[in-house]
Amino acid sequence: MARVHGRSVAGITGLMLLTTTIAFAQTPPPAGGQQTAQQTPPAGRGQRAGRAALPPITPNMNQQQLQAYIDAYALMQAERQLKLSTEQFPGFVGRLRRLQDVRRRHQMERRRMMGQLSELLQGEAGGRDEAILEKLRALDDVNQRASGEVRKAYEELDGVLTPWQRGRYRMLEEQLERLKVDMLSKLGNKIGGDR
């Protein structure tokens, strides 16, 4: 295994997957002690031997845990589908994490602000117009800032990729978004069916 800056590619991947696995280990088991069938996305051909598998998806996962799962899966799939070289991999990992962090931070901020807006909109209209307008301006500012930061994170990520790899990564993101929607739907159906 080639080494880059004192770390092997498998070691970096293992460290990221270990971090995700530890986060999932804190998820309580399903109620009643029932085992949940493993619904891990299918592993790609050519995965390195000894790689840790992603933990199973459980109905107890919240949206942040599911996003962490998708992020770890994205790295595994990017390594395989983009055919990253040993030299590209460490830079790609760091920049992918930055992109994921920027998105997550802005999603959380936007969700918080939407909650505040929702509170302002409760009850009768009137008397709160200025507060609502202020919240809408702040929300627009957050959206504009997020757009710029995401664009910058993409530029940094693209800096370590060839044009072919950039195109493949955009296609992978589309697949991952569909996978996320499908997982959320299945988890919602599972939770709804257990009631």
Residue-wise pLDDT tens digits, 104-115: 899 999 999 999
Q: Are 92 and 161 in contact (CB under 8 A)?
A: yes
The domain in which residue 180 lies consists of 3-26+50-194
- What is residue 183's predicted lDDT score, i.e. its pLDDT? 77
- Which amino acid, 36? T
What's the rounded Cα separation, in Å, for the pair 73 and 71? 5
Per the domain annotation, does 32 fall within a domain?
no
Q: pLDDT tens, 37-75?
A: 333 443 433 444 334 456 666 667 777 787 788 888 889
Q: Are 153 and 99 in contact (CB under 8 A)?
A: yes
Per the domain annotation, does 59 fall within a domain?
yes
Per the domain annotation, does 33 fall within a domain?
no
Per the domain annotation, does 89 fall within a domain?
yes
Per the domain annotation, does 34 fall within a domain?
no
Domain tally for the chain?
A: 1
Per the domain annotation, does 42 fall within a domain?
no
Is the model's pLDDT at 2 over the cut of 70? no
Per the domain annotation, does 38 fall within a domain?
no
Of residues 72 and 95, the one with the higher pLDDT is 95
Is the model's pLDDT at 21 over the cut of 80? no
- What is residue 122's predicted lDDT score, i.e. its pLDDT? 87
Per the domain annotation, does 120 fall within a domain?
yes
